[in-house]
A and B are shown apart, each in its own frame.
Chain A
Amino acid sequence: MKKDSIIRLLIMLVALAAASYLAVYLTPMQNEITAERKVLTKAPVAGLHKFLADVAWMRFVNYAGGLSTIDTTNVNKVSEMLRKIISYDPNFLESYQSGILSISNADPKLAVQILENACANEHLKTNVQIPFYAGFILSRKIVDQNNPDKVLSEPDYPAATRFFRMAIQRSNSPEPYIVSNYIRAKAKARGGDESTAVLSVLYDEWKMGKGKKGEIVEAEFCQIPDVEARLIKATRDAKYPTDENGKLVAPSANALKLIAQVQKEVFADNHLCTNCISQTNPGDKFCARCGVAVPVWGVCTCGAVLKDGGTFCSVCGKKQ
Protein backbone atom coordinates (compact mmCIF):
# COMPACT_ATOMS: atom_id res chain seq x y z
CA MET A 1 0.00 0.00 0.00
CA LYS A 2 1.33 3.39 -0.94
CA LYS A 3 2.24 5.98 1.68
CA ASP A 4 -0.46 8.31 0.32
CA SER A 5 -3.15 5.65 0.75
CA ILE A 6 -2.02 4.90 4.31
CA ILE A 7 -2.23 8.58 5.21
CA ARG A 8 -5.71 8.82 3.71
CA LEU A 9 -6.80 5.68 5.53
CA LEU A 10 -5.47 7.06 8.80
CA ILE A 11 -7.24 10.40 8.30
CA MET A 12 -10.45 8.56 7.45
CA LEU A 13 -10.30 6.39 10.57
CA VAL A 14 -9.46 9.32 12.84
CA ALA A 15 -12.33 11.36 11.34
CA LEU A 16 -14.70 8.40 11.73
CA ALA A 17 -13.68 7.92 15.35
CA ALA A 18 -14.12 11.65 16.03
CA ALA A 19 -17.54 11.72 14.33
CA SER A 20 -18.68 8.64 16.24
CA TYR A 21 -17.41 10.01 19.55
CA LEU A 22 -19.12 13.34 18.95
CA ALA A 23 -22.34 11.61 17.84
CA VAL A 24 -22.42 9.59 21.06
CA TYR A 25 -21.96 12.82 23.01
CA LEU A 26 -24.33 14.94 20.92
CA THR A 27 -27.32 12.57 20.87
CA PRO A 28 -28.19 12.80 24.60
CA MET A 29 -27.33 16.52 24.54
CA GLN A 30 -29.78 17.07 21.71
CA ASN A 31 -32.45 14.99 23.47
CA GLU A 32 -31.99 17.15 26.56
CA ILE A 33 -32.32 20.40 24.60
CA THR A 34 -35.35 19.19 22.66
CA ALA A 35 -37.35 17.11 25.12
CA GLU A 36 -40.30 16.87 22.71
CA ARG A 37 -38.26 14.66 20.35
CA LYS A 38 -39.33 11.61 22.37
CA VAL A 39 -43.01 12.11 21.53
CA LEU A 40 -42.64 13.22 17.93
CA THR A 41 -44.02 11.05 15.18
CA LYS A 42 -41.60 8.37 13.99
CA ALA A 43 -42.51 9.03 10.36
CA PRO A 44 -39.47 9.97 8.25
CA VAL A 45 -40.40 13.58 7.52
CA ALA A 46 -36.85 14.92 7.16
CA GLY A 47 -37.03 17.17 10.19
CA LEU A 48 -39.97 19.09 8.73
CA HIS A 49 -42.18 18.32 11.75
CA LYS A 50 -42.84 21.95 12.58
CA PHE A 51 -43.67 22.87 9.01
CA LEU A 52 -45.99 19.88 8.63
CA ALA A 53 -47.68 20.86 11.91
CA ASP A 54 -48.25 24.35 10.50
CA VAL A 55 -49.71 22.94 7.29
CA ALA A 56 -51.89 20.49 9.25
CA TRP A 57 -53.04 23.39 11.43
CA MET A 58 -54.09 25.42 8.39
CA ARG A 59 -55.94 22.38 7.03
CA PHE A 60 -57.69 21.97 10.38
CA VAL A 61 -58.70 25.65 10.52
CA ASN A 62 -59.97 25.42 6.96
CA TYR A 63 -61.92 22.20 7.60
CA ALA A 64 -63.32 23.07 11.03
CA GLY A 65 -64.20 26.58 9.83
CA GLY A 66 -66.45 25.06 7.16
CA LEU A 67 -68.43 22.97 9.64
CA SER A 68 -71.58 24.35 11.21
CA THR A 69 -70.80 22.36 14.34
CA ILE A 70 -68.42 19.67 15.54
CA ASP A 71 -70.51 16.76 16.78
CA THR A 72 -70.33 12.97 16.97
CA THR A 73 -70.78 12.68 13.19
CA ASN A 74 -67.56 14.50 12.31
CA VAL A 75 -65.51 14.46 15.51
CA ASN A 76 -63.39 11.50 14.42
CA LYS A 77 -62.03 13.35 11.41
CA VAL A 78 -61.47 16.55 13.37
CA SER A 79 -59.71 14.76 16.24
CA GLU A 80 -57.57 12.82 13.76
CA MET A 81 -56.45 16.14 12.27
CA LEU A 82 -55.63 17.50 15.71
CA ARG A 83 -53.77 14.35 16.70
CA LYS A 84 -51.67 14.71 13.56
CA ILE A 85 -50.76 18.30 14.44
CA ILE A 86 -49.75 17.26 17.96
CA SER A 87 -47.74 14.30 16.69
CA TYR A 88 -45.73 16.71 14.53
CA ASP A 89 -45.45 19.40 17.19
CA PRO A 90 -46.50 18.54 20.76
CA ASN A 91 -45.78 22.18 21.76
CA PHE A 92 -48.39 23.63 19.37
CA LEU A 93 -50.35 25.66 21.91
CA GLU A 94 -53.05 26.84 19.50
CA SER A 95 -54.05 23.27 18.72
CA TYR A 96 -54.85 22.74 22.40
CA GLN A 97 -56.43 26.11 23.08
CA SER A 98 -58.62 26.35 20.01
CA GLY A 99 -58.50 22.84 18.56
CA ILE A 100 -59.06 20.49 21.47
CA LEU A 101 -61.70 22.71 23.02
CA SER A 102 -63.67 22.49 19.77
CA ILE A 103 -64.00 18.70 20.11
CA SER A 104 -64.80 18.72 23.84
CA ASN A 105 -68.56 18.63 23.27
CA ALA A 106 -68.36 15.70 20.87
CA ASP A 107 -65.56 13.59 22.34
CA PRO A 108 -64.85 14.87 25.87
CA LYS A 109 -62.83 11.81 26.90
CA LEU A 110 -60.39 12.21 24.03
CA ALA A 111 -60.16 15.97 24.63
CA VAL A 112 -59.26 15.39 28.29
CA GLN A 113 -56.77 12.68 27.39
CA ILE A 114 -54.94 14.98 24.95
CA LEU A 115 -55.01 17.88 27.41
CA GLU A 116 -53.66 15.61 30.16
CA ASN A 117 -50.74 14.66 27.92
CA ALA A 118 -50.18 18.35 27.22
CA CYS A 119 -50.08 19.05 30.97
CA ALA A 120 -47.06 16.75 31.20
CA ASN A 121 -45.33 18.57 28.34
CA GLU A 122 -42.18 20.29 29.57
CA HIS A 123 -42.56 23.19 27.12
CA LEU A 124 -46.12 23.92 28.28
CA LYS A 125 -45.48 23.44 31.99
CA THR A 126 -46.29 27.08 32.81
CA ASN A 127 -49.46 27.20 30.72
CA VAL A 128 -52.54 27.78 32.87
CA GLN A 129 -55.22 27.35 30.22
CA ILE A 130 -54.50 23.71 29.35
CA PRO A 131 -55.17 22.25 32.84
CA PHE A 132 -58.07 24.68 33.22
CA TYR A 133 -59.70 23.42 30.00
CA ALA A 134 -59.25 19.81 31.15
CA GLY A 135 -60.86 20.61 34.49
CA PHE A 136 -63.63 22.56 32.79
CA ILE A 137 -64.51 19.64 30.49
CA LEU A 138 -64.40 17.15 33.39
CA SER A 139 -66.69 19.23 35.58
CA ARG A 140 -69.56 19.22 33.07
CA LYS A 141 -72.14 16.69 32.05
CA ILE A 142 -71.83 16.44 28.29
CA VAL A 143 -74.57 14.95 26.13
CA ASP A 144 -74.61 14.09 22.45
CA GLN A 145 -75.93 17.14 20.56
CA ASN A 146 -77.74 14.88 18.09
CA ASN A 147 -79.17 12.61 20.78
CA PRO A 148 -79.69 14.44 24.10
CA ASP A 149 -80.48 11.13 25.85
CA LYS A 150 -76.98 9.87 25.21
CA VAL A 151 -74.55 11.03 27.88
CA LEU A 152 -71.01 11.32 26.54
CA SER A 153 -69.41 12.15 29.85
CA GLU A 154 -70.54 12.53 33.44
CA PRO A 155 -68.85 15.10 35.69
CA ASP A 156 -65.70 13.79 37.37
CA TYR A 157 -65.17 16.35 40.12
CA PRO A 158 -62.11 14.79 41.83
CA ALA A 159 -60.29 14.72 38.47
CA ALA A 160 -61.49 18.23 37.63
CA THR A 161 -60.24 19.45 41.01
CA ARG A 162 -56.81 18.02 40.25
CA PHE A 163 -56.62 19.96 36.95
CA PHE A 164 -57.97 23.22 38.42
CA ARG A 165 -55.42 22.92 41.23
CA MET A 166 -52.68 22.44 38.65
CA ALA A 167 -53.86 25.61 36.87
CA ILE A 168 -53.73 27.58 40.14
CA GLN A 169 -50.30 26.23 41.03
CA ARG A 170 -48.95 27.23 37.60
CA SER A 171 -49.87 30.88 38.07
CA ASN A 172 -48.41 33.49 40.40
CA SER A 173 -51.72 35.32 40.61
CA PRO A 174 -54.44 32.88 39.51
CA GLU A 175 -57.46 34.32 37.74
CA PRO A 176 -60.60 34.46 39.95
CA TYR A 177 -62.58 32.25 37.54
CA ILE A 178 -60.00 29.46 37.90
CA VAL A 179 -60.11 29.68 41.69
CA SER A 180 -63.92 29.69 41.71
CA ASN A 181 -64.03 26.62 39.47
CA TYR A 182 -61.50 24.87 41.72
CA ILE A 183 -63.51 25.57 44.87
CA ARG A 184 -66.79 24.55 43.23
CA ALA A 185 -65.37 21.30 41.80
CA LYS A 186 -63.76 20.38 45.09
CA ALA A 187 -66.98 21.10 46.94
CA LYS A 188 -68.99 18.99 44.48
CA ALA A 189 -66.49 16.18 44.92
CA ARG A 190 -67.17 16.27 48.67
CA GLY A 191 -70.89 16.00 48.04
CA GLY A 192 -73.78 17.09 50.28
CA ASP A 193 -75.12 20.63 50.49
CA GLU A 194 -73.07 22.75 48.09
CA SER A 195 -72.82 25.90 50.20
CA THR A 196 -71.66 23.91 53.25
CA ALA A 197 -69.21 21.97 51.11
CA VAL A 198 -67.78 25.21 49.71
CA LEU A 199 -67.34 26.53 53.24
CA SER A 200 -65.70 23.29 54.30
CA VAL A 201 -63.30 23.45 51.32
CA LEU A 202 -62.34 27.05 52.03
CA TYR A 203 -61.95 26.36 55.76
CA ASP A 204 -59.54 23.51 55.01
CA GLU A 205 -57.64 25.72 52.56
CA TRP A 206 -57.43 28.44 55.22
CA LYS A 207 -56.16 25.92 57.79
CA MET A 208 -53.56 24.76 55.30
CA GLY A 209 -52.46 28.34 54.69
CA LYS A 210 -52.12 28.92 58.43
CA GLY A 211 -50.06 25.76 58.79
CA LYS A 212 -52.82 23.94 60.73
CA LYS A 213 -52.58 20.83 58.60
CA GLY A 214 -54.16 18.32 60.98
CA GLU A 215 -55.50 15.42 58.95
CA ILE A 216 -55.38 17.33 55.69
CA VAL A 217 -53.40 15.83 52.80
CA GLU A 218 -51.02 18.60 51.76
CA ALA A 219 -50.88 17.57 48.08
CA GLU A 220 -54.59 18.23 47.74
CA PHE A 221 -54.29 21.95 48.47
CA CYS A 222 -52.97 25.09 46.91
CA GLN A 223 -52.60 28.70 47.89
CA ILE A 224 -55.96 30.34 47.22
CA PRO A 225 -55.77 34.13 47.07
CA ASP A 226 -58.20 36.14 49.24
CA VAL A 227 -59.24 33.03 51.13
CA GLU A 228 -60.63 35.02 54.09
CA ALA A 229 -62.81 37.22 51.87
CA ARG A 230 -64.08 34.08 50.16
CA LEU A 231 -64.71 32.48 53.57
CA ILE A 232 -66.87 35.43 54.63
CA LYS A 233 -69.05 35.03 51.56
CA ALA A 234 -69.14 31.25 51.87
CA THR A 235 -70.11 31.46 55.57
CA ARG A 236 -72.94 33.84 54.69
CA ASP A 237 -74.12 31.51 51.91
CA ALA A 238 -73.94 28.50 54.22
CA LYS A 239 -75.82 30.27 56.98
CA TYR A 240 -78.59 31.42 54.65
CA PRO A 241 -78.94 28.64 52.08
CA THR A 242 -81.63 28.84 49.42
CA ASP A 243 -83.51 26.21 47.47
CA GLU A 244 -83.71 25.93 43.67
CA ASN A 245 -86.35 28.69 43.60
CA GLY A 246 -84.17 31.09 45.57
CA LYS A 247 -86.29 30.70 48.72
CA LEU A 248 -84.44 30.75 52.06
CA VAL A 249 -84.20 27.37 53.82
CA ALA A 250 -82.87 26.40 57.22
CA PRO A 251 -79.20 25.39 57.37
CA SER A 252 -78.37 21.86 58.44
CA ALA A 253 -76.95 21.03 61.86
CA ASN A 254 -73.61 20.16 60.27
CA ALA A 255 -73.55 23.51 58.49
CA LEU A 256 -74.24 25.40 61.72
CA LYS A 257 -71.53 23.46 63.51
CA LEU A 258 -69.04 24.28 60.77
CA ILE A 259 -70.10 27.95 60.68
CA ALA A 260 -69.57 28.22 64.43
CA GLN A 261 -66.14 26.67 64.08
CA VAL A 262 -65.19 29.05 61.26
CA GLN A 263 -66.48 32.07 63.17
CA LYS A 264 -64.48 31.06 66.22
CA GLU A 265 -61.23 30.28 64.45
CA VAL A 266 -61.17 32.46 61.34
CA PHE A 267 -63.29 35.49 62.15
CA ALA A 268 -62.25 35.94 65.80
CA ASP A 269 -60.42 39.19 64.98
CA ASN A 270 -62.38 40.22 61.91
CA HIS A 271 -65.19 42.19 63.65
CA LEU A 272 -67.99 40.40 61.85
CA CYS A 273 -71.61 40.23 62.87
CA THR A 274 -72.21 36.73 64.21
CA ASN A 275 -75.65 36.67 62.65
CA CYS A 276 -75.26 37.92 59.08
CA ILE A 277 -71.44 37.77 58.79
CA SER A 278 -71.23 41.43 57.75
CA GLN A 279 -68.35 43.68 58.61
CA THR A 280 -69.03 45.96 61.61
CA ASN A 281 -67.51 49.41 62.02
CA PRO A 282 -65.69 50.89 65.07
CA GLY A 283 -68.20 51.94 67.71
CA ASP A 284 -71.11 49.90 66.27
CA LYS A 285 -73.32 48.42 68.99
CA PHE A 286 -75.69 46.78 66.54
CA CYS A 287 -75.15 45.33 63.09
CA ALA A 288 -76.10 47.88 60.45
CA ARG A 289 -77.35 45.09 58.22
CA CYS A 290 -79.41 42.82 60.48
CA GLY A 291 -79.78 44.81 63.73
CA VAL A 292 -78.32 42.17 66.00
CA ALA A 293 -76.19 43.37 68.94
CA VAL A 294 -72.50 43.07 68.17
CA PRO A 295 -69.40 43.40 70.40
CA VAL A 296 -68.23 47.04 70.36
CA TRP A 297 -64.70 47.65 69.20
CA GLY A 298 -62.48 50.58 68.24
CA VAL A 299 -63.70 52.76 71.13
CA CYS A 300 -61.61 54.67 73.72
CA THR A 301 -62.36 54.35 77.44
CA CYS A 302 -63.78 57.89 77.18
CA GLY A 303 -66.43 56.56 74.80
CA ALA A 304 -65.14 58.27 71.65
CA VAL A 305 -64.73 56.25 68.47
CA LEU A 306 -61.06 55.90 67.58
CA LYS A 307 -59.95 57.28 64.26
CA ASP A 308 -58.59 54.73 61.82
CA GLY A 309 -54.86 54.25 62.30
CA GLY A 310 -54.64 56.76 65.17
CA THR A 311 -52.32 56.04 68.10
CA PHE A 312 -54.10 58.47 70.43
CA CYS A 313 -57.73 59.18 71.15
CA SER A 314 -58.69 62.38 69.35
CA VAL A 315 -61.08 63.37 72.22
CA CYS A 316 -59.18 62.61 75.46
CA GLY A 317 -55.65 62.16 74.09
CA LYS A 318 -55.19 58.80 75.73
CA LYS A 319 -52.65 56.52 74.08
CA GLN A 320 -54.29 53.41 72.70
Chain B
Amino acid sequence: MSEIMAIASGTWKNILRMKVVYFLVFCVWVLVGIASMYEVLTIGYHKPLMIDVALVLNTIAAVLVVLSVTFEIPRELRQGVAATLLTKSLGRTQYLAGKMVGICIAGFVICVLIAAGAFLIYSQTFSERIAGTMLQAQILLILSIIPMSSIAVFFATLFPDVVAPVLTILVIWFAFSTGALSNIPVLYGGILPNLDFFNFKSHAVYLEPIPGSYILLVTAWGIAYAIFLLMFTSFFFKAKDIK
Protein backbone atom coordinates (compact mmCIF):
# COMPACT_ATOMS: atom_id res chain seq x y z
CA MET B 1 0.00 0.00 0.00
CA SER B 2 2.83 2.39 0.88
CA GLU B 3 4.38 1.72 -2.54
CA ILE B 4 1.12 2.60 -4.27
CA MET B 5 0.80 5.79 -2.23
CA ALA B 6 4.43 6.69 -2.97
CA ILE B 7 3.77 6.48 -6.73
CA ALA B 8 0.43 8.25 -6.25
CA SER B 9 1.91 11.13 -4.31
CA GLY B 10 4.60 11.60 -6.96
CA THR B 11 1.90 11.75 -9.63
CA TRP B 12 -0.52 14.16 -7.97
CA LYS B 13 2.25 16.38 -6.64
CA ASN B 14 3.65 16.62 -10.17
CA ILE B 15 0.31 17.88 -11.46
CA LEU B 16 -0.58 20.14 -8.57
CA ARG B 17 2.86 21.78 -8.62
CA MET B 18 2.24 23.11 -12.13
CA LYS B 19 1.26 26.80 -12.03
CA VAL B 20 -0.64 26.44 -15.30
CA VAL B 21 -3.18 24.25 -13.50
CA TYR B 22 -4.19 27.14 -11.24
CA PHE B 23 -4.24 29.53 -14.17
CA LEU B 24 -6.68 27.17 -15.92
CA VAL B 25 -8.78 26.89 -12.75
CA PHE B 26 -8.93 30.69 -12.67
CA CYS B 27 -9.97 30.75 -16.35
CA VAL B 28 -12.78 28.31 -15.57
CA TRP B 29 -14.02 30.56 -12.76
CA VAL B 30 -13.95 33.54 -15.13
CA LEU B 31 -15.97 31.61 -17.72
CA VAL B 32 -18.50 30.57 -15.08
CA GLY B 33 -18.82 34.20 -13.98
CA ILE B 34 -19.26 35.36 -17.56
CA ALA B 35 -22.40 33.20 -17.83
CA SER B 36 -24.18 35.81 -15.69
CA MET B 37 -23.78 38.30 -18.56
CA TYR B 38 -25.92 36.19 -20.86
CA GLU B 39 -29.18 37.41 -19.38
CA VAL B 40 -30.30 39.20 -22.55
CA LEU B 41 -29.07 36.62 -25.05
CA THR B 42 -30.80 33.78 -23.18
CA ILE B 43 -33.95 35.79 -22.32
CA GLY B 44 -33.37 35.42 -18.59
CA TYR B 45 -32.00 31.87 -18.73
CA HIS B 46 -28.56 32.88 -17.43
CA LYS B 47 -28.96 31.28 -14.01
CA PRO B 48 -29.45 27.71 -15.28
CA LEU B 49 -26.76 28.47 -17.86
CA MET B 50 -24.24 29.24 -15.12
CA ILE B 51 -25.00 25.96 -13.30
CA ASP B 52 -24.59 24.05 -16.55
CA VAL B 53 -21.43 25.86 -17.63
CA ALA B 54 -19.83 25.12 -14.24
CA LEU B 55 -20.61 21.41 -14.66
CA VAL B 56 -19.45 21.22 -18.27
CA LEU B 57 -16.18 23.05 -17.59
CA ASN B 58 -15.53 20.88 -14.56
CA THR B 59 -16.05 17.79 -16.72
CA ILE B 60 -13.56 19.12 -19.25
CA ALA B 61 -11.09 19.87 -16.44
CA ALA B 62 -11.51 16.31 -15.11
CA VAL B 63 -10.86 14.86 -18.57
CA LEU B 64 -7.77 17.04 -19.02
CA VAL B 65 -6.32 15.95 -15.68
CA VAL B 66 -6.99 12.31 -16.53
CA LEU B 67 -5.37 12.79 -19.95
CA SER B 68 -2.13 13.91 -18.31
CA VAL B 69 -1.46 10.31 -17.28
CA THR B 70 -1.65 9.22 -20.93
CA PHE B 71 1.42 11.39 -21.53
CA GLU B 72 3.15 10.58 -18.27
CA ILE B 73 3.18 6.77 -18.36
CA PRO B 74 4.42 6.44 -21.99
CA ARG B 75 7.07 9.09 -21.22
CA GLU B 76 8.24 7.24 -18.11
CA LEU B 77 8.34 4.00 -20.09
CA ARG B 78 10.25 5.64 -22.92
CA GLN B 79 12.75 7.47 -20.72
CA GLY B 80 13.40 4.43 -18.52
CA VAL B 81 11.99 6.05 -15.36
CA ALA B 82 9.46 3.24 -15.04
CA ALA B 83 12.20 0.63 -15.51
CA THR B 84 14.19 2.20 -12.68
CA LEU B 85 11.14 2.22 -10.45
CA LEU B 86 10.25 -1.36 -11.31
CA THR B 87 13.72 -2.71 -10.49
CA LYS B 88 12.95 -1.89 -6.89
CA SER B 89 10.51 -3.91 -4.83
CA LEU B 90 7.67 -2.22 -6.65
CA GLY B 91 5.31 -4.51 -8.58
CA ARG B 92 3.94 -3.54 -11.96
CA THR B 93 0.33 -3.65 -10.73
CA GLN B 94 1.30 -1.39 -7.84
CA TYR B 95 2.89 1.03 -10.28
CA LEU B 96 -0.34 1.21 -12.32
CA ALA B 97 -2.49 1.46 -9.18
CA GLY B 98 -0.27 4.26 -7.88
CA LYS B 99 -0.62 6.16 -11.14
CA MET B 100 -4.39 5.73 -11.06
CA VAL B 101 -4.75 6.80 -7.44
CA GLY B 102 -2.43 9.77 -8.03
CA ILE B 103 -4.39 11.01 -10.99
CA CYS B 104 -7.66 10.54 -9.09
CA ILE B 105 -6.39 12.64 -6.17
CA ALA B 106 -5.12 15.38 -8.50
CA GLY B 107 -8.45 15.34 -10.33
CA PHE B 108 -10.42 15.49 -7.09
CA VAL B 109 -8.42 18.49 -5.83
CA ILE B 110 -8.75 20.45 -9.07
CA CYS B 111 -12.44 19.65 -9.57
CA VAL B 112 -13.27 20.48 -5.95
CA LEU B 113 -11.47 23.83 -6.41
CA ILE B 114 -13.47 24.56 -9.56
CA ALA B 115 -16.76 23.48 -7.99
CA ALA B 116 -16.16 25.54 -4.83
CA GLY B 117 -15.30 28.63 -6.89
CA ALA B 118 -18.32 28.12 -9.14
CA PHE B 119 -20.63 27.80 -6.13
CA LEU B 120 -19.19 30.97 -4.62
CA ILE B 121 -19.66 32.87 -7.89
CA TYR B 122 -23.22 31.56 -8.22
CA SER B 123 -24.24 32.43 -4.67
CA GLN B 124 -22.67 35.88 -4.91
CA THR B 125 -24.15 36.65 -8.33
CA PHE B 126 -27.71 35.55 -7.60
CA SER B 127 -27.70 35.94 -3.78
CA GLU B 128 -28.94 32.38 -3.48
CA ARG B 129 -27.93 29.37 -1.45
CA ILE B 130 -26.46 26.42 -3.31
CA ALA B 131 -29.12 23.75 -3.88
CA GLY B 132 -28.35 20.21 -2.74
CA THR B 133 -28.82 18.88 -6.28
CA MET B 134 -26.12 21.20 -7.63
CA LEU B 135 -23.75 19.78 -5.04
CA GLN B 136 -24.82 16.20 -5.81
CA ALA B 137 -24.26 16.70 -9.55
CA GLN B 138 -20.75 18.08 -8.90
CA ILE B 139 -19.97 15.15 -6.56
CA LEU B 140 -21.03 12.65 -9.23
CA LEU B 141 -18.92 14.47 -11.79
CA ILE B 142 -15.89 14.35 -9.48
CA LEU B 143 -16.49 10.65 -8.82
CA SER B 144 -16.46 9.97 -12.57
CA ILE B 145 -12.70 10.61 -12.41
CA ILE B 146 -12.25 7.12 -10.88
CA PRO B 147 -13.35 5.07 -13.94
CA MET B 148 -11.97 7.72 -16.33
CA SER B 149 -8.49 7.43 -14.80
CA SER B 150 -8.56 3.63 -15.19
CA ILE B 151 -9.40 4.08 -18.89
CA ALA B 152 -6.49 6.52 -19.25
CA VAL B 153 -4.09 4.15 -17.49
CA PHE B 154 -5.23 1.31 -19.76
CA PHE B 155 -4.45 3.19 -22.97
CA ALA B 156 -1.32 4.82 -21.55
CA THR B 157 0.11 1.37 -20.80
CA LEU B 158 -0.66 -0.13 -24.19
CA PHE B 159 -0.04 2.75 -26.59
CA PRO B 160 2.54 5.48 -27.13
CA ASP B 161 1.78 9.05 -26.02
CA VAL B 162 0.66 10.06 -29.52
CA VAL B 163 -2.14 7.50 -29.68
CA ALA B 164 -3.09 7.01 -26.00
CA PRO B 165 -4.67 10.48 -25.37
CA VAL B 166 -6.68 10.30 -28.59
CA LEU B 167 -8.02 6.86 -27.76
CA THR B 168 -8.72 7.90 -24.17
CA ILE B 169 -10.70 10.95 -25.30
CA LEU B 170 -12.65 8.85 -27.81
CA VAL B 171 -13.53 6.19 -25.26
CA ILE B 172 -14.48 8.76 -22.60
CA TRP B 173 -16.63 10.57 -25.20
CA PHE B 174 -18.50 7.39 -26.10
CA ALA B 175 -18.65 6.26 -22.47
CA PHE B 176 -20.54 9.48 -21.73
CA SER B 177 -22.77 8.89 -24.79
CA THR B 178 -24.04 5.44 -23.90
CA GLY B 179 -27.48 6.73 -22.91
CA ALA B 180 -28.95 5.32 -26.10
CA LEU B 181 -27.18 1.99 -25.72
CA SER B 182 -27.57 1.44 -22.00
CA ASN B 183 -30.37 -1.02 -22.68
CA ILE B 184 -27.56 -3.57 -22.72
CA PRO B 185 -26.42 -2.86 -19.14
CA VAL B 186 -24.09 -5.86 -18.81
CA LEU B 187 -22.14 -4.73 -21.84
CA TYR B 188 -22.26 -1.01 -21.06
CA GLY B 189 -21.20 -0.62 -17.48
CA GLY B 190 -19.96 -4.18 -17.24
CA ILE B 191 -17.32 -4.74 -19.88
CA LEU B 192 -17.53 -1.33 -21.55
CA PRO B 193 -17.65 1.79 -19.40
CA ASN B 194 -20.85 3.75 -18.94
CA LEU B 195 -19.83 7.17 -17.65
CA ASP B 196 -23.36 8.41 -18.34
CA PHE B 197 -24.16 7.03 -14.87
CA PHE B 198 -22.41 10.14 -13.52
CA ASN B 199 -24.14 12.63 -15.79
CA PHE B 200 -26.80 14.62 -13.92
CA LYS B 201 -26.25 18.05 -15.40
CA SER B 202 -29.93 18.54 -16.29
CA HIS B 203 -30.94 17.52 -12.78
CA ALA B 204 -28.69 20.17 -11.29
CA VAL B 205 -30.17 22.83 -13.56
CA TYR B 206 -33.77 21.87 -12.75
CA LEU B 207 -32.92 21.30 -9.07
CA GLU B 208 -34.39 17.80 -9.01
CA PRO B 209 -32.90 15.75 -6.17
CA ILE B 210 -30.76 12.69 -6.82
CA PRO B 211 -31.30 9.82 -4.34
CA GLY B 212 -28.35 9.27 -1.99
CA SER B 213 -28.55 5.51 -2.60
CA TYR B 214 -27.90 6.13 -6.31
CA ILE B 215 -24.77 8.14 -5.55
CA LEU B 216 -23.49 5.36 -3.28
CA LEU B 217 -24.19 2.64 -5.85
CA VAL B 218 -22.66 4.58 -8.71
CA THR B 219 -19.54 5.18 -6.58
CA ALA B 220 -19.36 1.44 -5.96
CA TRP B 221 -19.73 0.84 -9.72
CA GLY B 222 -16.94 3.34 -10.47
CA ILE B 223 -14.56 1.65 -8.03
CA ALA B 224 -15.47 -1.88 -9.20
CA TYR B 225 -15.01 -0.90 -12.85
CA ALA B 226 -11.70 0.83 -12.15
CA ILE B 227 -10.39 -2.27 -10.32
CA PHE B 228 -11.49 -4.51 -13.19
CA LEU B 229 -9.82 -2.38 -15.83
CA LEU B 230 -6.69 -1.93 -13.73
CA MET B 231 -6.30 -5.69 -13.30
CA PHE B 232 -7.00 -6.22 -16.99
CA THR B 233 -4.31 -3.65 -17.83
CA SER B 234 -1.85 -5.29 -15.46
CA PHE B 235 -1.91 -8.50 -17.54
CA PHE B 236 -0.71 -6.59 -20.59
CA PHE B 237 1.71 -4.51 -18.56
CA LYS B 238 3.19 -7.65 -16.99
CA ALA B 239 3.95 -9.05 -20.43
CA LYS B 240 5.34 -5.76 -21.70
CA ASP B 241 9.09 -5.56 -22.25
CA ILE B 242 10.29 -2.55 -20.27
CA LYS B 243 13.84 -1.36 -20.87
Q: Does B9 contact A (CB under 8 A)?
A: no
Task: Give which listed residue, B48, B179, B205, B231, contacts A11 with CB less than 8 A.
Answer: B231
Residues facing A in B76-125 (CB within 8 A) are 91, 93
B228–A47 touching, CB < 8 Å: no
Instruction: Known contacts A26-B221, A42-B180, A89-B202; decide if A50 and B228 are in contact (CB<8 Å).
Output: no
A51–B189 touching, CB < 8 Å: no
Instruction: Known contacts A23-B194, A27-B185, A33-B203; decide if A54 and B231 are in contact (CB<8 Å).
Output: no
Closest CB in chain B relative to A147 CB, distance in Å = 30
Give the CA-CA distance A91 to B202 in the complex, in Å. 9
Q: Does B190 contact A (CB under 8 A)?
A: yes
Chain A residues within 8 Å of B225, by CB = 15, 19
A50–B196 touching, CB < 8 Å: no
Task: Give which listed residue, A26, A48, A54, A89, contacts B218 with CB less than 8 A.
Answer: A26
By beta carbon, the residue of chain A nearest B51 is A50
Binds B, one of A55-63, A192-200, A282-290: A55-63
A27–B189 touching, CB < 8 Å: yes
- Of residues B44, B173, B220, B224, which shows the largest number of chain A Cβ atoms within 10 Å of its Cβ? B224
Task: Give which listed residue, B48, B56, B180, B182, contacts A48 with CB less than 8 A.
Answer: B56
Q: Contact string, B208-234, partner A, CB cutoff 8 A, digits 1/0?
A: 101100100110110011011001101
Q: How many residues belonging to A are interface residues under a CB distance threshold of 8 Å?
A: 44
A91–B206 touching, CB < 8 Å: yes
Give the CA-CA distance A4 to B41 in the complex, in Å. 61
Q: Does A34 contact B (CB under 8 A)?
A: yes
- Of residues A30, A34, A49, A51, which shows the largest number of chain B Cβ atoms within 10 Å of its Cβ? A30
By beta carbon, the residue of chain A nearest B141 is A47
Task: Give which listed residue, B56, B190, B205, contacts A20 with CB less than 8 A.
Answer: B190
What is the size category of the interface that chain B forms with chain A?
A: 35 or more
Closest CB in chain A relative to B194 CB, distance in Å = 6
Q: Does B1 contact A (CB under 8 A)?
A: no
Give the CA-CA distance A62 to B179 in the complex, in Å. 30
Residues facing B in A28-74 (CB within 8 A) are 29-30, 33-34, 36-37, 40, 42-51, 54, 57-58, 61-62
Specify the main secondary structure of chain A where it touches its partner: helix
B53–A22 touching, CB < 8 Å: no
By beta carbon, the residue of chain B nearest A62 is B41
Closest CB in chain A relative to B61 CB, distance in Å = 14
Q: Does B154 contact A (CB under 8 A)?
A: no
Give the CA-CA distance A36 to B180 in the complex, in Å. 12
Instruction: Known contacts A20-B190, A58-B41, A62-B41; decide if A44 and B221 are in contact (CB<8 Å).
Output: no
22 contacts between A and B (CB under 8 A): A11-B227, A12-B231, A19-B221, A19-B225, A22-B218, A22-B220, A22-B224, A23-B194, A24-B189, A24-B190, A26-B189, A26-B217, A27-B185, A33-B214, A34-B200, A42-B180, A47-B196, A51-B52, A54-B45, A91-B202, A91-B206, A123-B208
* Chain A residues within CB distance 8 Å of chain B: 4-5, 8-9, 11-12, 15-16, 18-20, 22-27, 29-30, 33-34, 36-37, 40, 42-51, 54, 57-58, 61-62, 89, 91, 94, 98, 123
Closest 10 CB pairs of A and B: A23-B189, A20-B190, A12-B231, A44-B177, A47-B199, A15-B228, A15-B227, A18-B224, A46-B176, A22-B221
